[in-house]
Amino acid sequence: MRKLIALTFAALAATTVVAQENPAALRTPDGTPDLQGIWSNATITPLERLQNVTSLVLSDEEAARMERATLERRERLNQPSDPDRPAPPKGGDGSTGAAGNVGGYNDFWLDRGDRVAVVDGQRRSSLIIDPPNGRIPPLTDEARARQQARLKLAAGRGQYDHPEYRPLAERCLLSFGPTTPLVPNYFYNNNIQIVQTPDHVMILMEMVHDARIIRMNATHVPKHIRPWMGDSIGRWEGDTLVVDTTNFPPQQNFRGSSENLHVVERFRRVDANTINYRFTVDDPTTFTAPFSGEIPFWALDEQIFEYACHEGNYALSNVLSGARNEEKRLGTKQEKQ
Amino acid sequence: MVRAGRDLVVALCTAIAVATAFWTAPPVETQTARPARVAGKPNLNGIWQALNTANYDILSHPAKAALAFRPGPVVPVPAAAVVAFGAVGAVPAGVGIVEGDEIPYLPEAKKKQLENQANWLDRDPEIKCYLPGVPRANYMPFPFQILHSDKAVFFAYEYAGAVRNVYLKDPGPAPVDSWMGQSVGTWEGDTFVVTVTGFNDQSWFDRAGNHHSDQLKVVERYTPSGPDHLWYEATIEDPQTFSRPWKIRMPLYRHINPDARLNQFKCVEFVEELMYGKYRKTPVSP
């Protein structure tokens, strides 16, 4: 693995030199910067800066330590399982989610990224760069009240009562993790394909085959039309692609945002292997201030495959019918008593 | 009488003059100029749609009351699940898209098609919002957008958000079967030829139960026949299902309205009641 990374870096260095010698190669025939290709935004740099870290920029040693720790953790998790290990505790270990209870994906299936985010030559401690503390601004009172109401509603009902109560990703409606802005999911499959014409830019997320088609120099659709991932329009500001997204559906939120969420994304091709992606999130009904982040997209020399989520979604039926069986079993027990 | 006749002639002449002016007037709004070629090849960019009823049945078919029937006292009547749709659930007639209007099924495969058709409500993958496969995606009653650049050709379908990236360099055999297959495109003059392989055996050709195995190979030919039309042909090969290759063909029309855009039809959400309603804590009464 380490050898592979070393090789990748060597390849990166080599192609970067070529690109600098021939910058025309990074432009489309109509002269705009060429953003096309297969990319990944996976990184070990967290979205929000950890409480005990003060600087946006990590020293080389700090960055190397983070990357080494990631590799060591992976090597540890990739050790063969002990064939004599006991069964998980009856009723699960109490944790929630796919990896909790009786176990879910092991590390083999995950692809959380193994590199610190590097932007403009700086190794970053957080993806968020504004506000300067690298953290999402506090929620407004209105958003806090909304959150409380949501929690109260959720507490008063069984989370397996209806398919609509399950997370969007479990229902195969959207991928795990945010789609707009393109923040990594820190889970697996952060692969993106970009295709660009003078009139449209298409961003495909491999996960759940979600293609966001950005209409260039267009206006937003009417307010009552609320497509998944919002409505995206784009324009070129010099060599930067600026994408403006509004009209989010109320069910899709980013960190507690409302349907007033407004995302502005800026794509800048910086070299043969990198897009510098910058996003600004604004929702005055949710956040006390707008916030911005920067994420490098790395060129991937890999294919994108079909992610047919819904077609193989046995889990949702099983989760719901399992809950019904459990109720029946508990009901029968109570009758006996 | 003469007077009335003269008035009529005047009225007619006025009507013709108005109509002629209307017909020859340039359209009020147009799309921005569209280059004829992209990187030397015909420009495939645009939002395209078939204008036929092949999604009901790729063979020639008369109109009928429904897609699913049950026995009636006199003639078969629409199945209970579809009777409420009335005329909306009826099938429009159509001219077939199959060359020779015949699908050369092997005997077992023909039997399966008839079973599929009889069990349409349970079996058609479209009902469950499953990915449509190829060629069905191209003639579903939804538009699709081709994004064509110097480096890529990408199909984005409105139905179910299905997508196809067409490889312009053959990556070799598909490592895994999929609903939409693996597409590899080459240009033969002004025709874009896409060879699609690596299919699973789950998708159908239409609502009439026409089907295939995972040995399916589709060779598509997209030939522009004007700025707003593509002539589409596809050769279907599947030795496990058909006794010989066969061909479908149809025009694809470009949406030319200035505000044309691909909308979203993420139907996964729309079929949750159908697929999971029975597992609700409190099912909605039928």
pLDDT category at B1 given cuts 50, 70, 90 is very low
Rg (CA), chain A: 22
User: Is residue B206 within 8 Å of B58, Cβ to Cβ?
Assistant: yes
Residues of chain A neighbouring B131 (CB-CB closer than 8 A)? 306, 308, 311
pLDDT at residue B28, rounded to an integer? 59
Give me the pLDDT at residue A96, please: 62
Tell whether A158 is within 8 A of chain B (Cβ). Answer: yes
Residues 6+ apart with CB under 8 A from A172: A208, A309, A310, A313, A316, B268
pLDDT digits (tens, 9 = 90+) for A218-262: 999 999 999 999 999 999 999 999 999 999 999 999 999 999 999
| Partner residues linked to A275 by β-bridges | A269, A297
Among A185-189, A322-326, B12-16, B241-245, the range with the most confident prediction by mean pLDDT is: B241-245
A20 and chain B in contact, CB less than 8 A: no
Q: How many CB atoms lie within 10 A of CB B276?
A: 20
Whole-angstrom distance, CA of residue A206 vs CA of residue A212: 11
Q: Calculate how close chain A gets to B269, using CA atoms only, in Å.
A: 7
CA distance A64 to A56: 15
For residue A12, the surrounding DSSP H or E stretch is helix A2-21
Q: State whether residue A164 sits within 8 Å of chain B by CB.
A: yes
* Residues contacting residue B30 through CB under 8 Å, at least 6 positions apart: B256, B258
Average pLDDT of chain B is 92
Query: Which pLDDT value is given to residue B116?
Result: 98
Nearest-5° angle of CA A179, CA A182, CA A186? 90
User: Nearest CA to CA, how far is B280 from chain A (Å)?
Assistant: 5
pTM: 0.90
Q: Name, in order, each residue with C-beta under 8 angstroms of B113's C-beta and a sequence gap of 6 or more.
A: B103, B105, B208, B209, B210, B211
pLDDT of residue A337: 53
Q: How far is CA B177 from CA A29, A120, B173, B180, B184, in A?
A: 35, 41, 10, 9, 15
Instruction: Read off the pLDDT band of A285 (50, 70, 90).
Output: very high
Q: Which of A209, A228, A327 sits opposite B264 (nearest CB)?
A: A228
pLDDT tens-digit readout, A173-211: 999 888 899 999 999 999 999 999 999 999 999 999 999
Question: What is the pLDDT confidence band of residue A119, given thresholds at 50, 70 and 90?
Answer: very high
CA B45 – CA A30 distance, rounded (Å): 15
DSSP string, A109-177: G-----S--EETTEEES-SEEESTTSSPPPBPHHHHHHHHHHHHHHHTS-TTSSGGGS-TTTTTSS-SS
Smallest CA-to-CA distance from B214 within B197, B201, B195 is with B201
User: Cβ A310–B129 below 8 Å, yes or no?
Assistant: yes
- Please indicate whether, in this complex, the C-beta atoms of A29 and B176 are within 8 angstroms of each other: no
Most confident of A319-323, B17-21, B218-222: B218-222
Q: pLDDT at position A127, please?
A: 98
Interface contact flag, A303 B263, Cβ < 8 Å: no
The pLDDT, as a whole number, for residue B245 is 98
Return the pLDDT at A13. Answer: 40
Q: Please provide the DSSP assignment of A55-75 as one string.
A: -SEEPHHHHHHHHHHHHHHHH
Where b means 16+ CB within 10 Å and e means fewer, A135-159 reads ebbebbeebeebeeeeeeeeeeeee
In terms of phi and psi (left: phi > 0; alpha: psi -120 to 50; beta: otherwise), the region of A101 is left
For chain B, what is the radius of gyration of the CA atoms?
Answer: 23
A303 touches chain B (CB under 8 A): yes
Provide CB contacts within 8 A for A45, sequence distance 6+: A116, A117, A124, A125, A126, A127
Position A6 scores a pLDDT of 41
CA distance B180 to B61: 27
How many beta carbons lie within 10 A of that of residue A76, not counting itself? 9
Tell me the chain A residues in contact with residue B130 when contact means C-beta distances shorter than 8 Å: 308, 310-311
Distances (CA, A) of A9 to A112, A123, A188, B213: 18, 15, 22, 44
Contact B276 A163 (CB under 8 A): yes
Average pLDDT of the residues in B97-115: 98
Assign A80 a pLDDT band (cuts: 50, 70, 90): confident
Predicted confidence (pLDDT) at residue A68 exceeds the cutoff of 70: yes
If you average pLDDT over residues A156-172, what whole number do you get?
Answer: 94
In this prediction, residues A115-121 reach a mean pLDDT of 96
The verdict on a CB contact (< 8 Å) between A202 and B154 is yes
Mean pLDDT calculated for residue range B25-31: 63
- Would you call A211 an interface residue with chain B, using a CB distance cutoff of 8 Å? yes
Within 8 A of A160 by CB-CB distance, chain B residues are 281
Q: What is the DSSP string of B1-28?
A: -HHHHHHHHHHHHHHHHHHHHHHHSPPS
| ipTM attached to this prediction | 0.89
* C-alpha closest to that of B215 among B197, B188, B229, B189: B197
Spell out which residues of chain A touch residue B275, defining contact as CB-CB under 8 Å: 317
pLDDT in tens, B168-211: 999 999 999 999 999 999 999 999 999 999 999 999 999 999 99
Pairing of strands B229-237, B246-254: antiparallel
Cβ–Cβ below 8 Å for B171 and A303: yes
Please work out, in degrees rounded to the nearest 5, the angle formed at the alpha carbon of residue B274 by the alpha carbons of B269 and B277. Answer: 95
SS3 assignment, position B240: coil
Whether the Cβ atoms of residue B184 and residue B174 lie closer than 8 Å to each other:
no
The gap from C-alpha A187 to its chain's centroid, in whole angstroms, comes to 8
In which band, very low, low, confident or very high, does the pLDDT at A99 lie, cut at 50, 70 and 90? very low
Beta-carbon contacts of residue A100 (< 8 Å; ≥ 6 apart):
A92, A93, A94
**Is the pLDDT at B67 greater than 60, yes or no?**
yes
Q: What is the pLDDT of residue A307?
A: 96
Query: Considering only alpha carbons, which residue of chain B is nearest residue A328?
Result: B281
Kindly report the CA angle at A224 between A219 and A228, in degrees rounded to 5? 80
Q: B9: pLDDT confidence band, cut at 50, 70 and 90?
A: low
Q: Which residue from A160, A161, A204 is facing B163, i.e. has the nearest CB?
A: A204
Chain A residue numbers touching B150 (CB-CB < 8 A): 28-29
| Nearest of B125, B124, B138 to residue B218 by alpha carbon | B138
> Mean pLDDT, chain A, as a whole number?
89
